[in-house]
């Protein structure tokens, strides 16, 4: 069998054999003891990973977009004004999701590559009585990481509920729900958890649960958290058949996060991000994202003059590394490289070598070994 290519798109990220194996075990009863044990374990670990002591975690078949929907639908009362902060593609999607449900959504947008300054959030909250503020932690199109902790204090002072889209962040960079005052973290399995795609994952604070309980009804059936709550509290209960194997695979992914140690995992993501960017800089790439808000989970590299996107990504894939193209207005000008999940140092070094080789093949003149040397210098820094 041909060697798998190294999947360094910004999600899905590579899935370890240990996690993949859970997909290949015989499917067990969705209300039986094996499934119940795994789901309970995954939910408890999930809360540890986002530092939520109380509150409720939910894992449901779907994907990140369903978790966006579930977050809004289960917190917004009719007539609530909602403020969405967007630093790119996925904040805009959050606003679109809200509007699809007839919610009164205002959008505060930054330039691509920047983030909404906390002062702009404070000013917006002074202008209207927003009941919900939603922010994207890391925008997967722009590689920008929002100051979600700084936002939290401002949102809390205004008395609004605070939703964070952690699809490209949760499990790779800190999201300290209780300490910071985040009410909902919504996320998915396929990025920093390194599990296969197919799950909508949410953690609701007690405050967010209270808000849901205070709503007489929500415009959803499958996405109504109160229908799922009995299952999450006792997975031998039935509401709708869960995707048994994917949940068992995710449970393994969450265990791996805790085995590595959440804080150690955050540090590794930060170190790998710096190493990859040092390598890319040594090859002549610049970044779409402002230096002040670079995400630790992906990089958006701007091609040097004369390097053509499709040829570059095609040649790189032949060398065994798959990266993604730019989204929307950045298409053709950048490539996006994920560095999240269970990436290893060997894989990272292999990728830097392949990037250099690709540039050389396309007629560039990278200094031989410079990318790897720059990356290694960071990987070998004493911690």
Tell me which residues touch ligand PMP (CB under 6 A).
Answer: 11, 63-65, 90, 136, 140, 165, 167-168, 188
Range list of β-strands (E), the chain: 6-7, 56-61, 81-86, 104-109, 130-136, 138-139, 144-145, 161-165, 184-188, 199-204, 286-287, 298-302, 321-322, 324-325, 334-338
Least distance in Å: CB of 116 to ligand PMP? 15
Which strand (E) or helix (H) includes residue 357? helix 345-361
Q: Give the tokens for residue 236.
A: 């031998």
Which DSSP string do the residues of 32-59 spell out, in sequence order? SHHHHHHHHHHHHHHHHHTT-SSSEEEE
Closer by beta carbon to ligand PMP, 140 or else 299: 140
Which strand (E) or helix (H) includes residue 110? none
Closer by beta carbon to ligand PMP, 28 or else 63: 63
Which strand (E) or helix (H) includes residue 16? none
Q: Treating both helix axes as pointing N-terminal to C-terminal, what angle do 370-379 and 262-282 enclose, rounded to 10 degrees?
A: 160
Least distance in Å: CB of 167 to ligand PMP? 3
Least distance in Å: CB of 378 to ligand PMP? 25
Rounded Cα distance between 107 and 255, Å, is 37
Q: Are 73 and 200 in contact (CB under 8 A)?
A: no
Note the residue count of the chain: 383
Least distance in Å: CB of 270 to ligand PMP? 19
Closer by beta carbon to ligand PMP, 90 or else 312: 90
Closer by beta carbon to ligand PMP, 6 or else 134: 134
Least distance in Å: CB of 31 to ligand PMP? 26
Q: Are 130 and 82 in contact (CB under 8 A)?
A: yes
Least distance in Å: CB of 69 to ligand PMP? 10
Q: Give the tokens for residue 106.
A: 């205002």
Least distance in Å: CB of 90 to ligand PMP? 4
Least distance in Å: CB of 12 to ligand PMP? 9
Closer by beta carbon to ligand PMP, 10 or else 235: 10
Closer by beta carbon to ligand PMP, 136 or else 330: 136
Closer by beta carbon to ligand PMP, 82 or else 188: 188
Least distance in Å: CB of 64 to ligand PMP? 2
Closer by beta carbon to ligand PMP, 65 or else 281: 65
Least distance in Å: CB of 198 to ligand PMP? 9
- Is residue 238 packed enough to be buried (19+ CB in 10 Å), middle (13-18) or exposed (0-12)? exposed
Of 256, 265, 267, nearest to 42 by C-alpha is 256
Closer by beta carbon to ligand PMP, 160 or else 167: 167
- How far apart are the two ends of the chain, measured CA to CA in Å? 39
Of 57, 31, 33, nearest to 44 by C-alpha is 57
Q: By beta-carbon distance, which residue lies closest to ligand PMP? A: 64
Point out which residues pair with 104 in neighbouring strands: 81
Q: Give the tokens for residue 128.
A: 């209207």
Closer by beta carbon to ligand PMP, 313 or else 315: 313
Rounded Cα distance between 299 and 111, Å, is 17
**Residue entry with tokens 């999930």:** 46
């Amino acid at each position: 069998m041909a060697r798998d290519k190294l999947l360094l798109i910004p999600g899905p990220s590579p899935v370890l054999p240990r996690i993949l194996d859970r997909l290949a075990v015989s499917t067990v009863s969705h209300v039986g003891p094996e499934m119940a044990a795994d789901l309970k374990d995954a939910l408890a670990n999930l809360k540890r990973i986002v530092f939520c002591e109380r509150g409720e975690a939910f894992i449901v078949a779907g994907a990140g977009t369903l978790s966006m929907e579930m977050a809004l639908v289960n917190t917004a009362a009719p007539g609530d004004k909602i403020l969405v902060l967007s630093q790119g593609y996925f904040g805009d999607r959050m606003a679109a999701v809200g509007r699809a449900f007839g919610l009164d959504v205002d959008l505060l947008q930054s330039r691509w590559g920047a983030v909404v300054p906390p002062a702009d959030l404070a000013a917006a909250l002074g202008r209207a009585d927003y009941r919900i503020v939603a922010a994207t932690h890391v925008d997967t199109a722009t590689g920008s990481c929002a100051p979600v902790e700084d936002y939290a204090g401002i949102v809390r002072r205004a008395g609004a509920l605070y939703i964070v889209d952690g699809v490209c962040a949760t499990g790779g960079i800190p999201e300290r729900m209780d300490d910071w005052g985040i009410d909902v973290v919504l996320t998915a399995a396929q990025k920093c958890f390194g599990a296969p795609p197919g799950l909508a994952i949410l953690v609701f604070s007690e405050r967010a649960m209270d808000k849901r309980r205070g709503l007489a009804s929500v415009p959803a059936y499958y996405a109504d958290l109160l229908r799922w709550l009995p299952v999450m509290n006792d997975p031998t209960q039935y509401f709708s058949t869960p995707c048994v194997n994917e949940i068992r695979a995710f449970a393994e992914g969450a265990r791996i996060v805790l085995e590595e140690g959440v804080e150690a995992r955050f540090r590794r993501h930060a170190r790998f991000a710096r190493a990859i960017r040092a390598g890319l800089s040594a090859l002549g790439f610049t970044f779409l994202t402002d230096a002040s808000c670079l995400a630790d989970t992906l990089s958006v590299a701007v091609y040097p003059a004369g390097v053509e996107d499709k040829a570059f990504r095609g040649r790189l894939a032949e060398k065994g590394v798959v990266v993604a193209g730019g989204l929307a207005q950045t298409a053709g000008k950048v490539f996006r490289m994920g560095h999240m999940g269970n990436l290893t140092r060997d894989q990272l070094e292999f990728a830097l070598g392949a990037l250099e080789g690709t540039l050389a093949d396309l007629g560039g003149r990278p200094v031989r070994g410079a990318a790897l040397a720059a990356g290694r210098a960071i990987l070998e820094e004493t911690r």
